[in-house]
Amino acid sequence: MSGGDETSRYGLLRRYRELVLDELPRRARQGRWVVVNDHCFGRIVLDHAVGGCWYDVLDRRSGRSAFAQLDDAQLAAAVALAERIAAAGDGLLRELDAQSLAWRGKPPKRPAVG
């Protein structure tokens, strides 16, 4: 396994950043998805990677980014989920966002009108 491929930890960290910070927000703005901000994509993907509210599992004050604190299996799952969101779009994103918000005790977003 080379240091730069998508299966190495380095490759997964790089791909996570590409997806969450750039690709997903860009596609979301173009497609008018329910979520468009990178930090919201991070919340959704991280929550699902750890199976709950990520800041109940990861250390927000460690000085390390939350995604860098994921173990290898969680990081691979996070990247796989972000890739699924990129492929499936808003429908899947709405389901994942609703679950993430529920883990926080918040209601799901209302469907767009129009």
- Count the Cβ atoms, other than its own, within 10 Å of residue 44: 26
The whole-number average pLDDT for the span 1-24 is 84
pLDDT in tens, 96-109: 999 999 999 999 88
pLDDT in tens, 27-47: 999 999 999 999 999 999 999
pLDDT in tens, 71-83: 999 999 999 999 9
Q: Exposure string (b/e) for 14-32, b if CB count within 10 Å is 16 or more?
A: ebbbebbeebbbebbeeee
Distance between CA atoms of residues 95 and 97, nearest Å: 5
**Percentage of residues in the chain with pLDDT exceeding 90?**
83
